[in-house]
Structure 1
Amino acid sequence: MDSMTELVVARQFSAPKTAVWAAFVEPEIIAQWWGPHGWNVPEDSVVLEPKIGGRHELHMVQDANPESVVPLKAVFTTFDEYECLASADGPHEMTLDLVIETRIEFKEFAGQTMLTLTQSPLPHDVIETSTKAWNSAFAKLETLLAEFF
Structure 2
Amino acid sequence: MTVAAAIPEALRRLSIVRTFDAPRALVWKMWTDPAHVAAWWGPEHFTTPVVRMDVRPGGAIHMVMRGPDGADFPFDGRFVAVEEPERLVMRTWVRREDGTTWFDVEQSFRFEEMDGQTRLHLDAVVIEAGADALGPLTGMEAGWTQSLDKLEAHVLAVTGD
TM-score by length of 2: 0.80
Aligned 8 A contact 2:76 2:94 in 1: no
* Cα offset, 1:99, TM superposition: 2.8
> For 1:99, what is the secondary structure of its paired residue?
strand
* Cα offset, 1:91, TM superposition: 6.3
| Equivalent runs, 1:4-23 vs 2, <5 Å | 4=9, 5-23=12-30
Task: Report the Cα distance in structure 2 between the residues aligned to 1:28 and 1:14, rounded to whole angstroms.
Answer: 20
Identity %: 25
How many residue pairs match? The answer is 145
* Cα offset, 1:89, TM superposition: 2.0
Aligned 8 A contact 2:76 2:92 in 1: yes
Task: Report the Cα distance in structure 1 between the residues aligned to 2:153 and 2:94, rounded to whole angstroms.
Answer: 33
Unaligned stretches of 5+ residues in structure 1: none
Query: Which amino acid in the other structure matches residue 8 of structure 1?
Result: S
Rg (Cα) greater in structure: 2
* Cα offset, 1:76, TM superposition: 0.5
Aligned 8 A contact 1:7 1:127 in 2: no
Unaligned stretches of 5+ residues in structure 2: none
Instruction: Determine which of 98, 104, 111 is the counterpart of 1:106.
Output: 111
Instruction: Determine which of 54, 74, 92 is the counterpart of 1:89.
Output: 92
Runs of 4+ in 1 over 4 A off after TM superposition: 125-128
TM-score by length of 1: 0.86
* Cα offset, 1:83, TM superposition: 0.8
2:62 counterpart residue number: 57
* Cα offset, 1:93, TM superposition: 3.1
